[in-house]
A and B are shown apart, each in its own frame.
Chain A
């Protein structure tokens, strides 16, 4: 069972309190009724499913109930960082030791 840091509760909590809610930073078009079939396909059906760094949504459903975003390495299954929904996409980089870190966090 993973521990996941909830950016609202400000601490690590057991995975059983959370639900994964799919890929993050896919914004619903404001003019959704008017978009093309191709644009709808891209928005609704296409997901990146990467090996390595993934940005995904989680919900602390059995905790504070908030949705938030996370950066996770799908190879090591490690969370690099979590942040509140609405905040900009967090960019990460892989250090020389192979570990992922938030860009600019290494000093």
Chain B
């Protein structure tokens, strides 16, 4: 039983960087992710296990990165992102009915930062991202060009775009192209 090779994690966007005068576009650090599904009566116990209050209102998040963040994706669905801990193990302690599926490697994320970050997203995202309806802390599954993404507004001029790994090159290129005109 020779442990001849020890695999290390390779980010699908490793080494990429892009942007413009208005926005910086970088791949996010590797993270643990869980797709969490549960009914409303079990939210309390799961929140306790995770150490944060699972958000119950549409398009909201709780917690913050680095650390642990939970985004409402649907009435019984959350995306948990964690940059240090093991949310899957924590959820394993909750004895209530739920589905926790490891999607750490299914998704990857791209970070946008700068005055033109929103306009960069608007190159491909039809959803209303203006302050009044998409404030800091908002999160939503939506479309970006021809792919599905989850957009999380992490700061005034900061967004995290989660997408499936094989779509990440498309997402990165579309955002890079959008960045060129983000100060229009």
Contact = CB atoms under 8 A, between A and B. Distances in A.
Instruction: Decide whether A and B assemble into one complex.
Output: yes
Interface of A: 1, 8-11, 13-14, 16-17, 62-66
Chain B facing A: main interface SS: strand
A10 B127 contact: no
B169 to A, nearest CB: 19
Contacts of A63: 74, 140-142
B127 A13 contact: yes
B133 A17 contact: no
Contacts of B74: 8, 63-66
B153 to A, nearest CB: 16
Contacts of A10: 58
B59 interface: yes
A62 B75 contact: no
Interface residues of B, number: 14
Contacts of A14: 126-127, 142-143
B158 interface: no
Contacts, number: 43
A66 B166 CA distance: 24
Contacts of A65: 73-74, 77, 141
Interface in B108-153: 126-127, 133, 140-143, 148
A98 to B, nearest CB: 29
A64 B75 contact: yes
B60 to A, nearest CB: 11
B58 A16 contact: no
Given A13-B127, A14-B143, A64-B58, 15 more contacts: A8-B58, A10-B58, A13-B142, A14-B126, A14-B127, A16-B143, A17-B126, A17-B127, A17-B142, A17-B143, A64-B74, A64-B75, A64-B141, A65-B77, A66-B74
Contacts of B148: 62
B141 A16 contact: no
